[in-house]
Amino acid sequence: MNIETINASLRRIKDYPKEGIEFIDITTMISHPDYFNFVLDLVVDYYKDKGITKVVGVESRGFIFGGALASRLGAGFVPIRKPGKLPAETYSVSYDLEYGQDAIFIHKDALQDGDVVLLHDDLLATGGTTKASLELLDNFDLNGIFVSFIIELEGLHGRDVLSGLDVMSVIKN
């Protein structure tokens, strides 16, 4: 198993969700248990000695790996969700996407002082969602934040908004 095999298993859909965007779908990769576990192993191996206490997954594809990563790392899982999905008091941030605007939310009691967080999402493009997620995490007194992605679109320079953070991407396109 190797990264090239994983990359080749991803479905690419041109002009979705709008013209000029190429959507990269991870569902074709995660439907293969060997591929899914290979990617999980890579991320867990990178972060296993970092003292992670919570994995924060960004809706919705960040949940797929986020829960599994939390389990393997012996950490709790915390979702960052879109509007109207969390039932208790929340912090929120609005932000621009490559193809529109959105907002994300986290429960105010989701993290505790001193937590060490692994923020996980499936894709890093321009960094808008990740930057907004980090703004949400600024509401907490954390002892550390690490960031991981399955795919990074290097040409869109999303990593530029993550300066000073430990960032790991499995696939760089």
For the annotated catalytic residues, the residue numbers are 61, 98
Distance CA 148, CA 74 (A): 17
**Residue 163: other Cβ atoms inside 10 A:** 7
Any idea which residue has 């505790």 for tokens? Answer: 112
Alpha helix (H) ranges present in the chain?
3-8, 27-30, 33-47, 61-73, 128-137
